[in-house]
Amino acid sequence: MKTILLFMKRNLKLVLLTVVLSVALLAFNAIDSKKSVSSDPEKDKLLIELLTFVIERGHYDPVAIDDNLSKGIYKDYVEALDPSKRFFLQSDIDEFSKYELLIDDQIKKKDLSFFDLTYNTYLNRMQESQKYYKDILDKPFDYSVDETIDTDYEKLPYAKNKAELKERWRKQIKLSTLSSLTDRIKLQEDEKNGVVDGEISDETVKEKLKEGKENKKDEKPKTLVELEKETRESSLKSLDDYFTFIKELDRNDWFGVYVNAIASRFDPHTNYMAPDDKERFDVSISGKFEGIGARLQKKNDLTEITELISGGPAWRGKELEQGDIILKVAQGNEEPLDIVGMRLDNVVKKIKGPKGTEVRLTVKKVDGTMKVISLIRDTVETEETYAKSSVVERNGMKYGIIYLPKFYIDFENQDSRDSGKDVAIEVERLKAQGVNGIIMDVRDNGGGSLKTAVDITGLFIEQGPVVQIKSTGTKKEVLYDRDPKIQWDGPLVVMVNNFSASASEILAAAIQDYKRGVVLGSKQTYGKGTVQNVIDLNQFVRGNTVGDLGALKTTTQKFYRINGGSTQLEGVTSDVEMPDRYSYIDIGERDLDNAMPWTKIDPAPFTIWDKQTNFDRAVENSKTRMNQNEHFQLIEKSARWTKERRDASVYSLKLETFTAEQNSLEEKSKQFKPISDYKNDLVFRPIPQDFELMNKDESFKEKRERWFESLSKDIYVEEALNVLDDLQTKPVVKGKVDLKKKIVKS
């Protein structure tokens, strides 16, 4: 069994669990293979039975399958189908609600009548909605009418009849087109006045501005009637694309939504993964896959190449380009298969394949020519998944920053890359550059492998405990760094934010508990203190002839800090709390109604790091800078304003009023423009190994340069460097800083 997302490769308890389940589930026999795998109610019943059986016996703290669970499943499932309440009528909900307290009974009986009812009703409402939006967009909107729309859909009642539902569609579409219309008007006015960098929200308008194809100075300005027509045409295309995507979804896709509404009620991180989802999950956690190394997107019925992944076969071959359209796919010498109109997931399946095999693509090039391109599939590594580092110099000191986007590993291949090994390599490379301190940046890192979190923590501490693990009804297990070697014993800062979760929180908590380095960032991290295991459901079915059943990711353990506290709900509180745009918005585990509770266990014996004598001084100095820095004060003010604006839900649909409201908001938002304009005047450079790659690979160079540019605009990184200064054993001589001049005026 493979265990992922704060997981352990060889955990005896979990292996025993799998053996027990395997024996118990031998009774689940295969279904008649003659039945349709794509839409087989008997297969669905098997999946429900299998799923609940595994959860009840494998989950850390399974809730009872009762009326309370039924209510939660009902609420989550209906909201997932129709979050903006523009498909179902109140009469539909009245019919659905008869099952609100019966879903638990249906689960036990393998009864699919509730799903069948909602699925068939949804398909009918979707078909009706297509006619609504086409009729609505067939004639101009009257923007002189004084009317409003409330976008707080959670509080919005369901439409009583089809006329009311169509009116809801009208208002939602009118708001969308009105927003686009004001953007187009503003763009035209800006170009007339020679302004080329206005605040535009409509991406289509932005793109045309970049291309320089619209509203040239020497062209006659478009009338309001012409602009209004353009917005309707754009909205029609977007909705057509959306409904095309929806049409490609089959019954299995919608049944997956229902199954996940069941699974996720046990806790937010327990969920069912259909075969395709499981494959994508494996790619995301390992950072690699076997294929040609091209990212695709649908454009109407066509499949377009949007990016070539650096180092992959498509990139090495130099025949495919961004913007090429794939028309046919052939496996080796087989006949080509026409993929026009094919669902994107199925196109991807045709193109991906085992390393060393051939795929031939019939491609329409950007210049309109046709070409057959042969590629040999290979292992493709998604470079943006992996750890990377940079060096920066200031005040006569040299510092290194390591960015880790996730804690990745490939359990199937022990010789492949994993984040523990990669971070160790980056540390050695930075040491070779003579750095005086290191920043470990795990902002936006949602977690991954528990093993690599322990390994990375071990790079910065002497041997000792890193994290504690607790399973139901068992004694706690302490995971140790047993290597007495310290790869980096100098000044250390760990950067976190609201989205640093799971394994990131283990690293930050251990560094904080040891007082090994300063944890700097948002008030608290995400607050995910649970361990999930991915269990292949196919292993439990004897003589499986029904096709791939997918996998279940379920919570099997909780982890605890070495001080005994859990990161569950509370996360890790930063040593230095820095304001950000989410400071007053509930984000994280604590914002989920079915999250597991915070608990505490006994601490594990550990010794505080005593080699950082000026730790407290560095923290206090940073807090003082926070209070004095006008830029951070502006970020704090912006966070309060963001919270205020987030709660607003009523918009005028009258052009004059809407424009006035948007202009007022834009004027107020100008005070926060210095936040995005900020530059820290630091120059971030690649390590020598990356410099060589940048000279060979233009795509790699572009990605690194974008990263360096973002670091040069990052005030949080700048403060982390200030903390590294203060952690030095010898005082760092700094130039006088005028805090007011750090604000970039627009």
Q: Give per-residue pLDDT as tens, 610-657.
A: 898 899 999 999 999 999 999 999 999 999 988 888 778 899 999 999
Residue-wise pLDDT tens digits, 25-58? 333 333 333 333 346 788 899 999 999 999 999 9
Distance, in Å, from the CA atom of 312 to the CA atom of 264, rounded to the nearest integer, reads 36
Task: Tell me yes or no: is domain 288-381 CATH 2.30.42.10.
Answer: yes
State which of 590-594, 630-634, 738-742 shows the largest mean pLDDT: 630-634
Structure confidence at residue 655 (pLDDT):
96
| Structure confidence at residue 170 as a pLDDT band (50, 70, 90) | very high
Confidence tier at 149 by pLDDT (50, 70, 90): very high
738 confidence band (pLDDT: 50, 70, 90): very low
**Which phi and psi (to 5°) does residue 19 adopt?**
-60, -45
Helix (H) or strand (E) holding 496: strand 492-496
pLDDT of residue 603: 96
Query: β-pairing, 650-652 with 294-299?
Result: unpaired
**Interatomic CA distance for residues 427 and 542, integer angstroms:** 49
Rounded Cα distance, 178 and 175, in Å: 5
Domain 383-593+606-727 class, CATH top level: alpha beta
Interval 69-113: pLDDT, tens:
999 999 999 999 999 999 999 999 999 999 999 999 999 999 999
Q: Where are the domains of the chain?
A: 136-247, 288-381, 383-593+606-727
pLDDT at 275: 85
Q: Which whole number is the average pLDDT over 341-347? A: 77
Q: Closest Cα partner for 375 from 387, 366, 365, 362?
A: 362
- At residue 729, the pLDDT reads 79
Closest CA to 160 of 103, 101, 76, 92: 92
For residue 230, what pLDDT is reported?
Answer: 93
DSSP string, 534-580: EEEGGGGSBT--S----EEEEEEEEEE-TTSBB-TTT--B-SEE---
In this structure, the strands spanning 325-331 and 302-308 are antiparallel
What are the structure tokens assigned to 622, written together? 């940073």
In the chain, what are the helix, strand and coil shares in percent, each to the nearest 5? 45, 15, 40
Integer angstrom CA distances of residue 203 from 176, 197, 322: 12, 14, 19
Tell me the mean pLDDT in the region 465-494. Answer: 94
Contacts of residue 378, defined as CB under 8 A and 6 or more positions apart, other chains included, come to 290, 292, 293, 312, 313, 355, 356
Mean pLDDT of 276-301: 76
* Structure confidence at residue 215 (pLDDT): 47
Mean of the per-residue pLDDT values of the chain? 85
- Mean pLDDT value of segment 441-457: 94
Beta bridge partners of 389: 402
- Tell me what the mean pLDDT of segment 607-612 comes to: 92
SS (H, E, C) 671-697: HHHHHHHCCCCCCEEECHHHHHHHHHC
* pTM, entire model: 0.81
- Whether 205 has a pLDDT exceeding 90, the answer reads no
Residue 722 has pLDDT above 90, yes or no: yes
- Section 375-382 average pLDDT: 83
CA–CA dist 431, 440 (Å, integer) = 14
Q: pLDDT-derived band of residue 491, with 50, 70 and 90 as boundaries? A: very high
pLDDT confidence tier of residue 581, bands split at 50, 70 and 90: confident
The angle subtended at Cα 73 by Cα 70 and Cα 75, nearest 5°, is 110
As a whole number, mean pLDDT of residues 60-73 equals 95
User: What phi, psi does 77 have (nearest 5°)?
Assistant: -70, -45
Position 212 scores a pLDDT of: 52
Q: What's the whole-number mean pLDDT along residues 696-714?
A: 89
Poorest-pLDDT segment among 423-437, 552-566, 643-657 = 643-657
- Mean pLDDT, range 576-582, rounded to an integer: 92
d(CA 356, CA 666): 55
| For range 453-468, the mean pLDDT | 97
If you average pLDDT over residues 131-143, what whole number do you get?
Answer: 95
Question: How far is 684 from 710, CA to CA, in rounded Å?
Answer: 10
**What pLDDT is stored for residue 15 in this prediction?**
34
